[in-house]
A and B are shown apart, each in its own frame.
Chain A
């Protein structure tokens, strides 16, 4: 573990070489570093180690991952910022409460499952089952933005939050998969493409963006573009559609009382 002293007593940046390291040892070291007061933890040579950042409850911490973190990155995380210089695997942001994950690459399946707050930005494509059962609560609004395409079941059971899909550098096929928003009963999705209704769940409505939507979209998109040095004006030029739940009670009239 290499440490860089930025002030006299406080080692604000701690560097860890994760080469050939088991995840449990690595995560112990990360937690130790944060407990000792580090504000920035840089992890090099990450190669599939799971659960990095899981359950950490600190807002003022940034974890920089060089390499490919394993599944369940930032599960149950509550506050930190994680920057991944590489691709991410499945389950990033699982049941995350607060914080931010910025992935400079593609990411796998089941991202942001049950996510209640925070941001998950992926520069490239995302896999299947992304944003299932995202939910907002009070002033917490979970936001997932993916720059590329998404697989099936995007935003399934969505109960709150914002999902934005940009489909950059994709001219060949639909940027969304099937079963889009199946069971959706809250939240909103903005898709930078035409969305064929047959791809959506029956609970999903498709609409044009109103001014409120445009403000929301612009705000988060600007932040996304800043993080990845993308041209906001170029991206916002294209038409977006809004997907919303037709009912907040899709199963309200199902039962005989």
Chain B
């Protein structure tokens, strides 16, 4: 069938600069280049990932959006037209990768942070100790201390297990299968080096990563891929995945093509079979069932923490209250900007709510009910920089999780073609020649550097706020102000408008 879809991108080669080294041919995993005397691009195959442009030694490649000569229409955007053409040519469900890319309001960009001037002096983090250490887990309702014979005070309250992390940033769940093993290795190494946590996602734990156990959260999702007693015991904690911001309420299909020998071993399913994750977990139809699974895992993992991950949806506050009461050690809330390796576009773009509103609503509800201490909150789904981290913590998060940001550190250019399995940057692929493009040592260094940079910035922000501990910022909404937000938005966020 003749396609009506115009190419998304135009590939321009400056032939005077080009030395015919063919690196672009080697780097393009979407076969957008051929070589006949000179490099010839096929615009229709270009996904705009810019791998070729970055690796062109002569900087002879420019990728631009195709100048579109179609008549403009505010309702019938080019995206709307292209989607219809694609579906009329395939009859299928449109797929995409990454998080929601629609122009919904980004609340982070309408929130600003306070600073000290004159009356309450700011602190210089370069000269004074600044505490980012964070503990994930249930906190007691109250603590009591006792004095021993020598007059030394010690804690009398028995604490439930806490996971200590050196910065309030952990890594979001990205499964082996969705991303390559080298991506997981990079992230796991960086997590261990920095003293934070990474998350297996629902694809099992590859045996090469077993020794990162004390920095690993293992996920238990509806397909139960790779979930065994050993898996639960190796990790420092487990997480029950109910939902994901990019695709709330739906399951996942890892196509058989991506289930190679190694993925098959890690997921514990036969090679080449589709890995179907049902939409719900069929042993969880209620809060009581959720509690049952939380404690089943605790019985198996020796009472280590068990968290629950949900997508941010309309009734997220009430749902979170149920999860806290079900005994979860943390609630991981994934906003609708949260990424994915594959999701139906219609789900990604139209379901779920922003993390900023969800987080504020959950924190407020748990405080009102007097159970905020019984559970940690992890906020995720669109954290782009340390400013977002600080704002999330002031809105009530114990820590944030980053997925897309970590992948961008590895080279991801947000082309959204993860679902094809052809990622030219070697991230969302299982093709061996592409997987090799990420050297885990180098990848770990890039991600470590990102964590270091953000953590230093967080200390600067705390210093400006006159605080010396991230703990003091947690839930401190008085230190935030809104700009250009209406009264409902300000009420939900629990912040005043700038100038108030």
Contact = CB atoms under 8 A, between A and B. Distances in A.
Interface in A190-222: none
Interface string B279-307: 00011000000001101110111000000
A244 B152 CA distance: 69
Interface stretch (A35-43, A51-59, A119-127, A231-239): A51-59
A256 B94 contact: yes
A197 to B, nearest CB: 22
B92 to A, nearest CB: 3
A78 B230 contact: yes
Contacts of B253: 251, 254
Given A78-B228, A78-B230, A133-B223, A255 B283 contact: no
Interface stretch (B172-180, B267-275, B324-332, B399-407): B267-275
What is the size category of the interface that chain A forms with chain B?
35 or more
Contacts of B91: 256
A156 B299 contact: no
Contacts of A97: 228-229
Contact of B93 (A24, A27, A113, A256): A256
B474 interface: no
A137 B295 contact: no
A55 B91 CA distance: 45
A78 B296 contact: no
Given A113-B282, A136-B270, A251-B274, A71 B228 contact: no
A91 interface: yes
Contacts of A249: 256, 274
A181 interface: no
Contacts of A110: 282-283
A148 interface: no
Contact of A116 (B228, B232, B299): B228
Nearest to B220: A95
Given A78-B228, A94-B296, A157-B278, 14 more contacts: A50-B292, A50-B299, A55-B232, A72-B296, A78-B229, A95-B227, A132-B278, A157-B282, A183-B278, A255-B95, A255-B419, A256-B91, A257-B90, A257-B420
B463 to A, nearest CB: 46
A135 to B, nearest CB: 6
A253 interface: yes
A105 interface: no
Interface in B188-233: 220, 222-224, 227-230, 232-233
A57 B94 CA distance: 44
A237 B318 CA distance: 55
Interface residues of B, number: 42
Contacts of A76: 227-229, 232, 296-297, 300
Interface string A47-87: 00011001111000000000000011001111000000000
Contacts of A132: 278, 282
A242 interface: no
Contact of A256 (B87, B233, B295, B300): B87
A95 B301 contact: no
B164 to A, nearest CB: 25
Interface in B87-142: 87, 89-95
B6 interface: no
A133 B282 CA distance: 9
A243 interface: no
9 contacts: A51-B296, A55-B300, A76-B229, A76-B232, A91-B296, A94-B293, A114-B223, A156-B278, A255-B344
Contacts of B419: 255, 257
Interface string B385-429: 000000000000000000000000000000000011000000000
Interface in A124-176: 129, 132-133, 135-138, 153, 156-157, 159-160
Interface of A: 24, 27, 50-51, 54-57, 71-72, 75-78, 91, 94-95, 97, 110, 113-114, 116, 129, 132-133, 135-138, 153, 156-157, 159-160, 183, 185-186, 248-257
B273 A55 contact: no
Contacts of A71: 292
B497 interface: no
Contacts of A157: 276, 278, 282
Nearest to A114: B224
B86 interface: yes
Interface of B: 86-87, 89-95, 220, 222-224, 227-230, 232-233, 253, 255-256, 268-270, 273-274, 276, 278, 282-283, 292-293, 295-297, 299-301, 344, 419-420
A256 B296 contact: no
A254 B295 contact: no
Contacts of A133: 222-224, 276, 278, 282
Given A51-B295, A76-B227, A137 B270 contact: yes
Contacts of A116: 224, 228, 268
A186 B295 contact: no
Contacts of A91: 283, 292, 296
Nearest to A27: B299
Contact of A252 (B94, B255, B297, B299): B255
A252 B298 CA distance: 36
A129 B282 CA distance: 8
Contacts of B295: 50-51
A5 to B, nearest CB: 29
A253 B253 CA distance: 12
Given A75-B299, A94-B296, A253-B92, A135 B283 contact: no
A160 B270 contact: yes
Nearest to A73: B296
Nearest to A79: B229
A249 B295 CA distance: 34
A103 to B, nearest CB: 18
A186 B273 contact: yes
A75 B300 CA distance: 8
A110 B288 CA distance: 14
B211 to A, nearest CB: 19
A24 B227 CA distance: 22
Given A55-B300, A129-B282, A255 B273 contact: no
A75 B296 contact: yes
A47 to B, nearest CB: 17
Nearest to B227: A95
Contact of B233 (A55, A113, A248, A257): A55
Contacts of A114: 223-224, 227
Contacts of A137: 268-270
A185 to B, nearest CB: 6
Contacts of B89: 256
Contacts of A77: 229
